[in-house]
């Protein structure tokens, strides 16, 4: 029953496990940097490959002084790169000195010292986020380092330049980037697992499930590709990695849109139209990515136009629509809307925290809290989907119970029809001979001695009992009401209480009646009394010592609801399910016809009868009739 509900549990546990691993790893990495030297100032000089072909900066062009607080990375028009001059302090105190620039922009990076090329790296993709880790020569005096950075539209250093032990710098950077890779890989694995599971879901559930899987998969790719490690360790597949990053950007937001549309109720006309249009634009953007991969650098302007400048405002509008719709659902009391809104709130808080870190730090740190916010947003989406699947499962169980009840009522109706036909054909034929026999027995009894009179009296009583059974048959076979009037429930139930009080007193039972004055229904007074006397008689016979019979009534949804409860021995569920069936009775001498007739009378009066019982705790009968006005 709960299998579907908990399919998302491994997903959440896996994400939280990686999430908890982020902070300790990051903190440990920072502690290793205590012995490094941070350089926060440097100089840059813009260049153009067409006018400057030498491996050294121009002697005529000016140098711009910049620092880590206000880094300059936008390449001016007419240029395609920058020379960066960094003054390196003495490095003799380190056995293996090195240099680390965690965050910089550039596609082709070359490093020169004293006119000698120390490092050269060129990417075959347009992913310009880069990292420079370089081994230096051990020198007792300062040295000038010239870094040549060629790129499309961004070139330069964004974070501080760290100088220290080469291996410690390498470990420090890897420790900072490793949690992101683990987080992305975990989400990717779980999202692929979710996609495989989707084949076992029903069609109505598959849409939201696949959308959520695509959201998770695209997010995992974005988290992994945001790190520079894949581009450093696998430079030969840089174009493929860039293509995966751009494709994920085109997939994640339409998938989120369709997920929200499938989860929330309502027409959502504009929301759905925007989602279809957004999906169409994503397909167009995918074609742009393919053309960019085929044509190359000459297509860069159109690539940037359609995958960034036009896509960014669309993403902003899309997120506003999703967030506003979630807030509207929350205001309406939709718990799913509240959960999704909390997920977006977590993402917003994490983003603000990263911005505060950037603006309050002396350097340009690598931010990671936005990844935690994305994970929390995905977790909120998983919770909403799990709630939806659980609700669908509960509906299925409710429908199956209704179907079972319908089948039970159908079987009962078929049995009642059979008994009705049997009663109509036999009752009249049997009743007349019984009356004649009873008359002759009374005549003979009057002329017999006292000993025989006792036997004749027993025979007459049995004939009377047989006559009562036939009367029940006739009532069942023809339950139509002779006259229908407005009945005051308090008056009718008070009359029934008065009639049944002697029988209750004999069995040591008491009545507790609480019925409002202004409850009226349509029905026949005698049939009403007959039905309720049958129910109360069964309650009295089921009582033990200190028996109590409660009779109360109330108004509920334009219906009169009457409850008759006793503290008798109660019944098993199987017995309760069979109440009202012909010839079924929990009493040793019962025929089951009394309750059968009771069900028929209440049914003819447009009412319903339901029994609830628990063994050893008593039984409750719930009767519902449509209310009417006394006039």
Number of domains in the chain: 2
Q: Which residues pair with 614 in a beta bridge?
A: 618
pLDDT of residue 106: 94
3-class DSSP state of 580: coil
Angle CA 45–49–54, to nearest 5: 75
Which has the higher per-residue pLDDT, 603 or 583? Answer: 603
Measuring CA to CA, which residue among 504, 586, 599, 612 is closest to residue 549? Answer: 504
Contact between 83 and 49 under an 8 Å Cβ cutoff? The reply is: no
Mean pLDDT of 52-81: 86
For residues 312 and 334, is the Cβ–Cβ distance under 8 A?
no
Give the lowest-confidence range in 95-109, 253-267, 325-339, 344-358.
Answer: 344-358
Identify the pLDDT of residue 10.
46
Classify residue 363: in a domain, yes or no.
Answer: no
Q: What is the mean pLDDT of residues 343-368?
A: 71
Ranking 24-33, 182-191, 307-316 by mean pLDDT, the lowest is 24-33
Query: 512 in a domain, yes or no?
Result: yes
Question: Bridge-partner residues for 121, per DSSP?
Answer: 109
Q: What integer is the mean pLDDT of 283-312?
A: 89
Report the pLDDT value the prediction gives residue 11, as an integer from 0 to 100.
Answer: 47
Q: Which of 159, 178, 195 is the last residue of a domain?
A: 159
In whole angstroms, give the CA distance from residue 328 to residue 333.
9
The residue among 201 and 607 whose pLDDT is bigger is 607
pLDDT (average), residues 324-340: 84
Enter the tokens of residue 168.
């410690």
pLDDT in the model for residue 28: 36
Confidence of residue 3 (pLDDT cuts 50, 70, 90): very low
pLDDT value at 207 more than 90: no
Average pLDDT, the chain: 83
Residue 584's pLDDT is what?
65
Mean pLDDT, residues 337-362 taken together: 77
> Is 604 part of any domain?
yes
Residue 518 has pLDDT above 60, yes or no: yes
Mean pLDDT throughout 128-140? 92
Over 90: is that where the pLDDT of 625 sits? Answer: yes
- How far does CA 233 lie from the centroid of its chain? 39
- Please provide the distance, in angstroms rounded to a whole number, between the alpha carbons at the two ends of the chain: 51
Tell me the mean pLDDT in the region 36-64: 86
Instruction: Report the 3 state secondary structure along 423-443.
Output: HHHHHHHHHHHHHHHHHHHHH
- Find where tokens 């629509």 sit: 321
pTM: 0.60
CB 608 within 8 A of CB 623: yes
Q: Tell me what the mean pLDDT of segment 333-352 comes to.
A: 82
Residue 150 has pLDDT above 80, yes or no: yes
pLDDT at 470 over 80: no
Q: State yes or no: pLDDT of 167 exceeds 60.
A: yes
Average pLDDT over residues 144-170: 93
- Of 106, 134, 159, the residue at which a domain comes to its end is 159
In contact, 187 and 216? CB cutoff 8 Å = yes
- Express as a percent the part of the chain with pLDDT over 70: 85
pLDDT at residue number 425: 65
In a domain, 262, yes or no: no
List CB contacts of 161: < 8 A, sequence separation 6 or more. 38, 39, 40, 42, 86, 99, 100, 101
Position 446 in a domain: no
* Least confident interval from 23-32, 441-450, 530-539, 586-595: 23-32
Residue 246 lies in a domain: no
What mean pLDDT do residues 173-198 have? 90
* pLDDT value, residue 2: 39
What is residue 480's predicted lDDT score, i.e. its pLDDT?
59
Supply the DSSP string of 203-263, one letter for each residue: HHHHHHHHHHHHHHHHHHHHHHHHSSHHHHH-GGGHHHHHHHHHHHHHHHHHHHHHHHHHH
pLDDT at 26 over 50: no
- The CATH number for 135's domain is 2.60.120.260
- Which range, of 45-49, 272-276, 474-478, 576-580, averages the lowest pLDDT? 474-478
Q: Is pLDDT of 22 > 80?
A: no
Among the ranges 53-57, 201-205, 255-259, 574-578, which has the highest mean pLDDT value? 255-259
Per the domain annotation, does 215 fall within a domain? no
pLDDT digit string, tens, across residues 480-508: 556 788 999 999 999 889 888 888 888 88
The per-residue pLDDT for 53 is: 63
| In-domain check, residue 570 | yes
Banded model confidence at residue 141, pLDDT cuts 50, 70, 90: very high
Q: Among 58-67, 272-281, 288-297, 409-418, where is mean pLDDT lowest?
A: 409-418
Identify the pLDDT of residue 363.
53
Residue closest to 221 by CA, chosen among 234, 212, 230: 230
d(CA 27, CA 391): 42
Which is more confident, 485 or 369?
A: 485
Q: Tell me, what CATH number does 497's domain have?
A: 3.30.565.10
Of 125, 143, 159, the position where a domain reaches its end is: 159
Answer yes or no: is pLDDT of 382 > 50.
Answer: yes
The pLDDT value given to residue 362: 55
Is residue 17 scored above 50 in pLDDT? no
Whole domain around residue 91: which residue ranges?
41-159
pLDDT (tens digit per residue) in 384-405: 888 888 888 888 888 888 888 7
Q: In the prediction, which pLDDT does 152 show?
A: 85
């Amino acid at each position: 029953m709960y299998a579907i509900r908990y399919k998302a549990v491994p997903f959440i546990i896996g994400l939280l496990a990686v999430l908890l691993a982020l902070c300790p790893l990051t903190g440990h990495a920072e502690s290793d940097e205590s012995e490094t030297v941070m350089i926060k100032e440097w100089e840059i000089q813009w260049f153009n490959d067409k006018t400057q072909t030498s491996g050294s900066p121009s002697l005529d062009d000016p140098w711009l002084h910049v620092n880590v607080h206000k880094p300059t990375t936008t390449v001016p028009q007419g240029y395609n790169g920058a020379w960066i001059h960094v003054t390196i302090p003495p490095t003799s105190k380190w056995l293996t000195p090195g240099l680390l620039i965690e965050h910089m922009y550039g596609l082709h990076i070359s490093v020169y010292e004293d006119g000698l090329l120390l490092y050269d790296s060129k990417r075959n993709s347009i992913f310009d986020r880069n990292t420079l880790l370089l081994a230096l020569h051990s020198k007792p005096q300062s040295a000038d380092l010239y870094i040549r950075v060629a790129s499309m539209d961004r070139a330069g250093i964004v974070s501080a330049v760290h100088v220290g032990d080469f291996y410690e710098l390498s470990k420090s950077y890897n420790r900072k980037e490793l949690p992101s890779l683990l987080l992305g890989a975990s989400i990717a694995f779980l999202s692929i697992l979710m996609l495989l599971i989707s084949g076992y879901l029903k069609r109505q559930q598959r849409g939201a499930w696949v959308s959520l899987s695509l959201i998770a998969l695209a997010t995992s790719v974005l988290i992994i590709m945001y790190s520079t490690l894949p581009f450093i360790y696998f430079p030969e597949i840089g174009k493929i990695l860039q293509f995966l990053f751009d494709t994920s950007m085109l997939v994640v937001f339409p998938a989120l849109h369709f997920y929200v549309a499938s989860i929330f109720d309502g027409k959502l006309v504009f929301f759905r139209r925007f989602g279809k249009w957004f999906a169409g634009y994503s397909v167009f953007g995918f074609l742009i990515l393919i053309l960019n991969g085929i044509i190359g650098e000459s297509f860069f302007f159109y690539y940037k136009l359609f995958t960034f400048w036009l896509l960014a405002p669309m993403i902003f509008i899309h997120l506003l629509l999703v967030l506003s719709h979630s807030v509207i659902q929350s205001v309406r009391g939709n718990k799913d809307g509240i959960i999704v809104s909390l997920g977006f709130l977590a993402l917003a808080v994490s983003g603000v925290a990263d911005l505060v870190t950037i603006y309050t730090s002396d350097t340009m740190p690598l931010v990671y809290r936005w990844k935690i916010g994305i994970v929390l947003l995905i977790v909120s989406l998983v919770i909403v989907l799990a709630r939806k699947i659980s609700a669908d499962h509960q509906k299925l169980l409710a429908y199956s119970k209704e179907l079972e009840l319908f089948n039970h009522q159908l079987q009962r109706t078929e049995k009642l029809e059979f008994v009705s036909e049997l009663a109509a054909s036999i009752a009249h034929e049997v009743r007349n001979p019984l009356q004649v026999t009873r008359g002759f027995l009374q005549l003979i009894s009057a002329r017999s001695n006292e000993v025989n009179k006792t036997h004749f009296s027993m025979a007459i009583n049995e004939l009377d009992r047989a006559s009562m059974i036939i009367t029940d048959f006739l009532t069942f076979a023809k339950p139509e009401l002779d006259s229908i009037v407005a009945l005051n429930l308090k008056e009718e139930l008070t009359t029934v209480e008065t009639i049944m009080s002697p029988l209750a007193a004999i069995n040591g039972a008491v009545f507790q009646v609480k019925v409002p004055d202004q409850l009226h229904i349509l029905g026949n007074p005698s049939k009403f009394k007959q039905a309720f006397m049958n129910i109360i008689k069964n309650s009295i016979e089921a009582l033990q010592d200190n028996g109590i019979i409660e009779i109360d009534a109330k108004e509920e949804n334009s219906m009169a609801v009457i409850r008759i409860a006793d503290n008798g021995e109660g019944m098993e569920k199987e017995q309760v399910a069979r109440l009202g069936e012909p010839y079924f009775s929990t009493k040793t001498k019962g025929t089951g016809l009394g309750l059968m007739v009771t069900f028929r009378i209440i049914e003819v009066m447009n009412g319903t009868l339901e029994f609830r019982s628990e063994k050893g705790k008593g039984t409750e009968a719930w009767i519902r009739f449509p209310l009417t006005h006394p006039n």
